Each structure stands twice: as C-alpha cells, then as structure tokens.
C-alpha cells in the first residue's frame, strides 16, 4: 500500500481530494516504478486539486505534474533500481497518475536522471515552475537578449516561476525588474536579486496602446492577459518576451505593432512536452545558474496531507515562491 492524494469526481461533477491508501496493483501500467521522495505544488496542481476544469482529463486521478525519487524497478534499459530520477510534465497528474504519491509508475521517456548538483528535494524546489523559468531564460538568450541591452521584467514575480526567474536572471547579470501585486514582498524579491520592484498595477491597464514608451530588453511573463499586452507594448527594439503563464487570464489583446514596428519576438514556452536533450540542457543550466541559497530562501516544505490546503492558497495568489511536498511525511 502507499499514500497518495486521490481525486474523484461524482455524478454532479464535484471533485473531492483526499489522502488515500492505495494498492500498488492500482498503479497504471508503465515501464518504470519510482519510489517518490518529493513532489511539489505548482499552479496546475492548485487547479487539479480544487477541481477546476482544464487540467485533469480522467478520474480517479493522482495529481502532481512533478516528481523526484528513486527507481525501484524498470523494464527499460535506460533506468535501473537505485537510479535517482526527475519527471516534469508529460501529462502526468493530468491524464496519467502523478507525483503526489509515495509511488509512481511512469514511462521511461518522461524521465531525466537527477542532475548531480541537486538532491531530490532541491529538484522539486525547482519543479515545473523553476524548470519553466529556465526554459524562458534560454528562450531570451536564444533571441539575443543580453544583460547590456537593458532591463528585463519578470511578472508574477512572487510566484514560483517568477521567483526562480528573478534569481536566475540576477545571477546571470541582468538588471531585473520584478512586477508584483504584493508590495510587502519587495524585500524578498530584492534578496533574490531584483534590482527594482514595481507594482503590477503599472502593467495591468486593460486594452493598452500597443506601442508605449519602450523599457524592457526582455521579459518573463507568468501572467498573460492585459499584463502581457502591456509588456509587449513596452519592449525595446528587437527584444523578446517569453510567455509561459495565465495567472491573470488566457486572453491577449494586442496588435502586430510591437512585432512589425519594433521587431519584438514573443516566445511561447510549454514545459510539458520538451525533448530529452532540451530538458537535460535546462537542468544543467539550473545547476550552473541558480544559487542554491536563493532556492532555499524561496521554498517551504510540507507533508502530503498539507498539499490540499496549499492548493487553495496557490490559486488565491497567497503562496510565495515554491512549495515542496515531502510525500513520506
């Protein structure tokens, strides 16, 4: 038997989340069995656990889009018992039982070996949020955004993606401007490396003019909607905005003006389906470019049964940084 967060849906489509003791025989068929050590709560787990539409595709479901642990058995030659592994995405916790459990059964193609720089707990302190932040930074670099070209803005800065992006970009030498709706977190964001902290209201004007006074060489946007439209409108010639999130909304009302008159690039980031080489590259760069003391400063660790409460907190925008779930606690 093993413990897991277990989501069920009744005839009225009401979703219930509980900690349940499950039998290993209930695990889905897949090539690798993992003794999970840590998982995490991202925004997506918040949506899944609270029964919001758009994440979980079948019930019953064990949520958790991230896991880190030790292989207990494998029918795939790439992994053997005792290997430390990490999984981010691939529909795990959405259509296939996920990481908020003491055991998981997953496809070998979805795994990467744990980078030697990290413990399994640190890997989950990074989780999909931090790994996505790294994918955003890689996209900015590949579009030619360099520290000497001007400030880079990070929206949703106090959240998981935002906090990690601030820490990485600051370590790389960028002038990082953190946009937040929580002014009381200014000290936290400055300690992570932000050079300036701005009120997110400054980027929230609805239906903004598509070209405004240009300020940003680049941006990591975890928020979408009006915020993304304002960020695009304020991006310097040939700058790049890496868009990964929708905390404010899915909509985007802008015009082609930033793209055709300023050569701005909009780089879309989807962390779910990323080829193996790119995932290893992102984890290698996290090992090089994320200060472990900053990672520790942005992380809290909770037990499996606490995950349900944290899910509600993250949707309310009340989680700062990252939450690791110790599934054995």
Q: Under the rule (CB under 6 A), what is the footprint of ligand NDP? A: 42-44, 128-129, 132, 156-162, 180-182, 200, 222-223, 227, 244-248, 269-272, 314, 317, 319
Half-sphere exposure of 316 (CA within 13 A, CB side): 7
Question: Residue 122 or residue 132: which is nearer to ligand NDP going by CB?
Answer: 132
Question: Residue 27 or residue 219: which is nearer to ligand NDP going by CB?
Answer: 219
**Angle at alpha carbon of residue 122, lines to 119 and 125, rounded to 5°:** 155
Q: How far is the CB of 32 from ligand NDP (least distance, A)?
A: 23
Query: How far apart are the C-alpha atoms of 321 and 157, rounded to whole Å?
Result: 9
Q: Where are the alpha helices (DSSP H) in the chain?
A: 43-49, 120-142, 160-171, 186-192, 225-233, 257-261, 276-289, 292-297, 307-315
Question: Residue 182 or residue 215: which is nearer to ligand NDP going by CB?
Answer: 182
**Element holding 241 (H helix, E strand):** strand 235-243
Q: How far is the CB of 326 from ligand NDP (least distance, A)?
A: 19
**Element holding 116 (H helix, E strand):** none
Query: How far apart are the C-alpha atoms of 228 and 89, rounded to whole Å?
Result: 24
Q: How far is the CB of 75 from ligand NDP (least distance, A)?
A: 29
Question: Residue 71 or residue 135: which is nearer to ligand NDP going by CB?
Answer: 135
Q: What are phi and psi of 272, to 5 degrees?
A: -75, -50
Question: Residue 20 or residue 50: which is nearer to ligand NDP going by CB?
Answer: 50
* Sign of the CA dihedral running 139, 141, 142, 144: positive
Tell me the helix, strand and coil percentages in the chain, rounded to 5.
35, 30, 35
Q: How far is the CB of 237 from ligand NDP (least distance, A)?
A: 26
Q: Which tokens go with 146?
A: 């360099």
Question: Residue 40 or residue 120: which is nearer to ligand NDP going by CB?
Answer: 40
Q: Which is nearest to 82 in space by CA: 123, 37, 40?
A: 37
Question: How would you classify the pairing of strands 66-74 and 103-106?
Answer: unpaired
Q: How far is the CB of 68 from ligand NDP (least distance, A)?
A: 16
Q: How far is the CB of 67 from ligand NDP (least distance, A)?
A: 15
Q: How far is the CB of 300 from ligand NDP (least distance, A)?
A: 12
Question: Residue 33 or residue 200: which is nearer to ligand NDP going by CB?
Answer: 200
Q: How far is the CB of 12 from ligand NDP (least distance, A)?
A: 26
Question: Residue 179 or residue 235: which is nearer to ligand NDP going by CB?
Answer: 179
**Element holding 282 (H helix, E strand):** helix 276-289
Q: Which is nearest to 147 in space by CA: 230, 73, 217, 64?
A: 217
């Amino acid at each position: 038997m093993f413990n897991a967060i277990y989501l069920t849906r009744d005839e009225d489509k009401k979703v219930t989340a509980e900690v349940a003791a499950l039998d290993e025989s209930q695990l889905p068929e897949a090539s690798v069995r993992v003794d999970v050590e840590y998982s995490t709560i991202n925004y997506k787990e918040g949506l899944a656990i609270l029964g919001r539409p758009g994440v979980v595709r079948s019930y019953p479901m064990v949520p958790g889009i991230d896991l880190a642990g030790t292989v207990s058995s494998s029918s795939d030659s790439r992994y053997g018992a005792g290997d430390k592994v990490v999984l981010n995405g691939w529909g795990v916790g959405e259509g296939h039982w996920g990481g908020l459990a003491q055991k998981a059964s997953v496809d070998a193609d979805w795994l990467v070996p744990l980078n030697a720089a990290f413990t399994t707990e640190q890997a989950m302190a990074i989780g999909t949020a931090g790994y996505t932040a790294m994918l955003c930074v890689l996209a900015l670099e590949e579009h030619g955004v360099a520290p000497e070209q001007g400030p880079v803005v990070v929206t949703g800065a106090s959240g998981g993606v935002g906090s990690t992006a601030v820490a990485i970009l600051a370590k790389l030498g960028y002038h990082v401007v953190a946009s937040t709706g929580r002014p009381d977190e200014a000290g936290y964001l400055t300690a992570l490396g932000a050079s300036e902290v701005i009120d997110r209201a400054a980027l929230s004007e609805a239906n903004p003019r598509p070209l405004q006074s240009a300020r940003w060489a680049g941006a990591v946007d975890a928020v979408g909607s009006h915020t993304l439209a304002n960020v695009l409108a304020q991006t310097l010639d040939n700058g790049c905005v890496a868009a990964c999130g929708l905390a404010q909304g899915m909509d985007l009302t802008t015009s082609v003006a930033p793209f055709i008159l300023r050569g701005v690039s909009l780089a879309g980031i989807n962390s779910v389906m990323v080829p193996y080489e790119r995932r290893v590259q992102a984890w290698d760069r996290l090992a090089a470019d994320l200060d472990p003391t900053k990672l520790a400063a942005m992380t809290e660790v909770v037990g499996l049964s606490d995950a349900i409460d944290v899910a509600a907190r993250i949707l309310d925008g009340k989680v700062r940084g990252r939450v690791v779930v110790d599934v054995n606690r």
